[in-house]
Amino acid sequence: MRIVIRTQTDSLETNIEAKIQRGFTSAFDGRRQTITPNYDAKGDPLHSAIVSFFMQKLNSRRYGGTHYEWVLNIDCLMVVVSYDGKYKINGTPLPLVSVANALARVTYFSCFEDNKNISKLMSVLIDSITIPEPVSYVLENRAPYHFYSDYKKQEVRLNVQPIGNSKYAIEISDSVWGEISQKDLVTFVNSYRDSKKRGNWNNLSPKMLYSRLIGEEPSEGQLKLMKAFLSQNRTQDIVERRAKELIVETCERLPNHFLYHKEEVEEGETLVMDSGLRVNSENNEWLFVRGKLYDWKIRKAHNAQSRQSVSTFVYNTITDRIKTGQVQNENGEWVDTFKEEKKFLWRGPICVDNLAFNGATSIGDQMVARGYAFLNDEVTINLINTINGNLDTKDMSEHRLDFEDLLENDLGVLL
């Protein structure tokens, strides 16, 4: 079976072959199967989608509870998966979700050229079996936590480091680390990532969290410092910072196709450009994209996270009918005469739902997702029907913009 894994900007591929030792199944046949991210998942959307794929394939209920044993070749790694009343992977009994998690990680890593050897994939498999998925998640993505401040929910991410056999440390304040066992860390992640109520780690205030991890109550000064530290690690801020880094990396990698510009504006300040354009902290960022047929402008629309946090424009034309005078017709009546004149300008904003771009929600993510989509605008314009109404000229390849010159001379005019 050829597995195609869709990411936000690319497609990854690997092969899975199954040999039946016992039982029967047509779950892994020669077909090509595509896996797309599950953006409703609490954890990583791509990993969650691959886990769901394997859970569906391995679930014994699919085969009426029949016992089975299969040899799966994931790229170059052979893995034995069986069910005899218990699910097992290479002889190790695990819950179905844990088996699926291990296979999902191996499958994902097998898609990359530098991981296509048995030793690397075996290392990934062993780590996936011995380290619970919630722990692997926080080591890669930080631990989710939330608290309430001024009646508002603050979602943050905390650094986690292994410090011994089944022991970890969580950074809860500036250079202040608290120790937690692997079992409690799993419960902690399940509470704050998956909203599970099982255990006694859910809904802890910063003061209670400090006490649980450090073993003593914080002083007033320590608590104040902790809350300031937590506020600096808000989840959305971290996501946005990484997304902006991705924009910069994209522009550096493809300088002929992408250009990012941010006009520095203080919070509450408004800049008035020569053209009269008003720029503030809610609309002061732009990503320019050179597609195959058109030039595109993606502009920050506001600070709030939503499905339309950016506005999209295409550089195109409008056709005006300009009155040139009057002539007398054959009946002796005077009628107006016109000529058509094309004007080049930005058309938009175009309504583009980010659900069409793999669920990107942060401003930076939406910019990058749209940017890569418009890089191949020959295809994109046929997928999003709101674009075509703005394409007065169907091919603008002979009328392209110089983005650098645009920023230097015409910022207020064209933006």
Residues 86 and 26 in one domain: yes
What the block records as the tokens of 217 is: 């109550």
d(CA 143, CA 256): 38
Residues 165 and 45 in one domain: no
Residues 228 and 266 in one domain: no
d(CA 351, CA 24): 49
Q: What is the pLDDT of residues 77-103, one digit of tens each?
A: 999 999 999 999 999 999 999 999 999
d(CA 336, CA 353): 43
In this predicted structure, the answer to whether residue 26 has a pLDDT above a threshold of 70 is no
Can you give the pTM of this predicted structure? 0.59
Do 368 and 250 touch, CB atoms closer than 8 A? yes
Residue (of 338, 339, 287, 347) closest to 315 by Cα position: 347
In which element (H, E) is residue 4 found? strand 2-6
Q: In terms of DSSP bridges, do strands 295-300 and 167-173 run parallel, antiparallel, or are they unpaired?
A: unpaired
What the block records as the tokens of 123 is: 């290392």
Residues 405 and 344 in one domain: yes
Q: What is the pLDDT of residues 262-287, one digit of tens each?
A: 888 887 788 877 667 788 888 888 99
The DSSP output letter for 324 is: E
Residues 260 and 400 in one domain: yes
Residues 88 and 144 in one domain: no
Q: How many domains does the chain have?
A: 3
- Please report which confidence band the pLDDT of residue 395 belongs to, taking 50, 70 and 90 as the band edges: confident
Residues 103 and 179 in one domain: no
Q: What is the pLDDT of residues 163-211, one digit of tens each?
A: 988 899 999 999 899 999 999 999 999 999 888 888 889 999 999 999 9
Which structural domain, as residue segments, surrounds residue 393? 237-414
The one-letter amino acid code at 104 reads: A
| Mean pLDDT value across the chain | 85
Residues 398 and 288 in one domain: yes
In this predicted structure, the answer to whether residue 358 has a pLDDT above a threshold of 50 is no
Residues 386 and 252 in one domain: yes
Do 42 and 3 touch, CB atoms closer than 8 A? no
- Apex CA 377: angle with CA 375 and CA 381, to 5°? 150
Domain boundary among 233, 264, 287: 233
Q: What is the pLDDT of residue 382?
A: 86
In which element (H, E) is residue 149 found? strand 143-149
- Please report which confidence band the pLDDT of residue 305 belongs to, taking 50, 70 and 90 as the band edges: low
Residues 250 and 302 in one domain: yes
Residues 275 and 392 in one domain: yes
Beta-carbon neighbour count of residue 43 at 10 Å?
Answer: 18
Domain boundary among 100, 130, 160: 130
- Please report which confidence band the pLDDT of residue 308 belongs to, taking 50, 70 and 90 as the band edges: low
Q: What is the pLDDT of residues 221-248, one digit of tens each?
A: 999 999 999 988 887 777 777 778 888 8
Inter-helix orientation angle 45-58/96-109, to 10°: 120
